[in-house]
Amino acid sequence: MAGSRRHRWLMWLAGAGLVVLVVLVVAAAIAMRRAEPFLHEQIVAALSEHFHAHVELDGFHVSLVHGLEAQGKGLRIWPPAEAAGVGVPSNDSGDPLIRLDEFRFQAPLHYARGKPIEIRTIQLRGLRIDLPPRSRFEHAGVAESASSPSKWVGFSVGSVECADAELVLETSKPGKVPTKLEIAHIAIKDISPAGAMHFVADFTVPRPRGHAHSTGSFGPWQVSDPGETPVSGDYRLEDADLSGFVGIAGLLSSTGHYQGTLRGLVVDGETDTPDFRLTHFGNKLPLHTRFHARVDGTDGDTWLDNVDATLNHSPIAAQGQVVRVISDVGGVPHTGGHDIALSIDVSRARIEDFLVLAGKSTTPLLTGDVAVQAKLHIPAGSEPVHERLELDGFFHLTDAHFTNEKIQDRIRELSVRGQGRPGEVKSTDAESVHSEMTGNFQMAKDVISLPNLAYIVPGAEIQLQGAYGIEGGTLNFSGTAKTQATVSQMVGGWKGLLLKPADRFFKKDGAGTEVPIHIGGTRENPDFGIELGKMKITAPERPKVE
């Protein structure tokens, strides 16, 4: 009897406990449901106070099933409000400074009075930061809130993980489009509103398009003008496809360091392109560069203060600028390419590297050491680079040697006869005769113009003017050839004796012989000749008889 009574009491207590548990769960759910609007308000107030701006949050949900779990959707934060007060978007278009599709975090339930709740990680998805130009902030003041939001519960954050983010840097320059950076993933730690935060990011570089990885720090966040937020770090760019630029190709990799602000960076780095080529010609050469540059983050314009490049075996020093040009398509601005202007200084390079790069044959017209000072301009456009490229400068080619046997044989014969040694023409090795060239040049539309080309070999000097066609290798030059030897000395033998009386007709300005010449044909089949119609042969004046 007593056992039965105890059993009933136990059953009653168990049932009562179950009821109490259900009541507590329901009460907790009701409490959380009632707490959500309060927490929603706290979050909006805290963000408004920090950013001094209007903030909206579409939804916020809290759960206690697995500790404290919170999720928010549709967060929007406008740029800092005008001096009139917080709560009014300061940009004319009404676009938010920050948009966030979703955020979530989890924290333990235990709470110690006076200490913040520790959140290990906040997860973000669909973050977009749209920074207005500096001009939007120049006349705006940042007003403090009339009253601070209540600090009911504090939080500390260990890190932030964000997927699918985009950074847009607006520009106030006319005729420019904003810079957009697609960030696949970014992790931020050492979260602090008043100090620098460290990050690891994977993102896509728009031009040349490629995958990049970066580690560094940014902050503190400049509330009055977010574009002036400090940032620095190291980067690694892999497999950037140069074919996005019309007329060139190759896969570029780069490493370097940057520092500055979101709007303006100073970058020091290196690039490697093992298969750089002009697509019209197709010959591949390795290209390596080291550079120091300043980058306008709002529009991508770049000032190259110093570039040390090596094309195959040829060192090149350059400085200049790369500026984005905008085209108008149906009233909408689009990126129309880049306008490139560089000053080039080549102290000792190999002429064959440049001829192979800008030619369809892997065998260059000639070899030798070359020095060049030139201005390079590649205007923006849809045509291939080789059709837009413009060069204007001076060159000095030494130790030159033609790879075409026919041309080099003619050079050998000219040199030996010009020295008055015709008997050694056949015995002299053509490979041992090297020449020198100097002159100004202009290059445009696949044609190299040479208005004052001086070509020197032992025993002879040729002054030419004309043009060389890169596409077909066409030659069209005319000028004069001067030799040390006289006509009779150049011919030699009994024929030379017969020509000795004619020597006086060809002597001029200290030269043993001077004749007008032309060079035509093509690189593979050149045509050399004396322009008899231009020869002015006059008999020397006879002495006057008193």
Handedness of CA 439, 442, 443, 448 (dihedral sign): negative
Query: Dihedral (C-alpha) 365, 366, 370, 376: value to the nearest 10 degrees?
Result: 0
C-alpha to C-alpha distances, 453 to 108, 180, 438, 489, nearest whole angstrom: 82, 48, 6, 26
User: What is the 8-class DSSP label of residue 487?
Assistant: H
Encoded amino acid at 99, one letter = R
Both tokens of residue 257? 């360091």
**Residue 506, helix vs strand vs coil:** helix
**Residue 134, helix vs strand vs coil:** coil
Handedness of CA 256, 262, 266, 271 (dihedral sign): positive
Question: Taking Cα atoms as reference points, which of 478, 473, 465 lies closest to residue 522?
Answer: 473
C-alpha to C-alpha distances, 330 to 171, 327, 334, 366, 382, nearest whole angstrom: 21, 10, 10, 49, 17
Strand partners, 475: 468
Encoded amino acid at 31, one letter = A
What are the domain boundaries of the chain?
A: 404-534
User: What is the 8-class DSSP label of residue 544?
Assistant: P
* Helical H segments across 2-72, by residue range: 2-51
Question: Taking Cα atoms as reference points, which of 122, 187, 125 lies closest to residue 155?
Answer: 122
Both tokens of residue 484? 């040390």
Task: Kindly write down the DSSP assignment for every residue of 341-404, as one continuous string.
Answer: EEEEEEEEEEHHHHHHHTSSSSS-SEEEEEEEEEEEEE---SS-HHHH-EEEEEEEEEEEEESS
Which residues 6+ apart lie within 8 Å of 407 measured at CB? Answer: 526
What does each of the 546 residues of the chain score in pLDDT, given as a tens digit?
555 555 554 454 444 444 444 444 444 444 455 567 777 777 778 777 767 778 898 988 887 777 778 888 998 988 875 433 444 444 444 788 889 899 888 877 666 676 777 778 889 899 998 877 776 666 555 444 434 444 445 667 788 899 999 888 777 766 667 778 889 999 988 887 778 889 999 988 877 888 999 999 988 888 778 888 899 999 999 989 988 777 889 999 999 999 999 888 999 999 999 999 988 888 999 999 999 999 887 777 889 999 999 999 999 999 999 887 766 545 544 556 778 899 999 998 999 998 898 888 888 888 999 999 999 898 888 787 778 888 899 999 999 988 888 888 888 888 888 888 888 888 888 778 888 999 999 988 888 899 999 999 999 898 999 998 877 788 899 998 888 988 888 888 888 788 888 888 888 777 788 888 888 888 778 887 776 455 454 444 444 444
d(CA 521, CA 398): 24
- Is there a contact between 256 and 268 (Cβ–Cβ < 8 Å)? yes
pTM over 0.85: no
- Is there a contact between 359 and 281 (Cβ–Cβ < 8 Å)? yes
Question: Taking Cα atoms as reference points, which of 520, 487, 524, 492 lies closest to residue 503?
Answer: 487
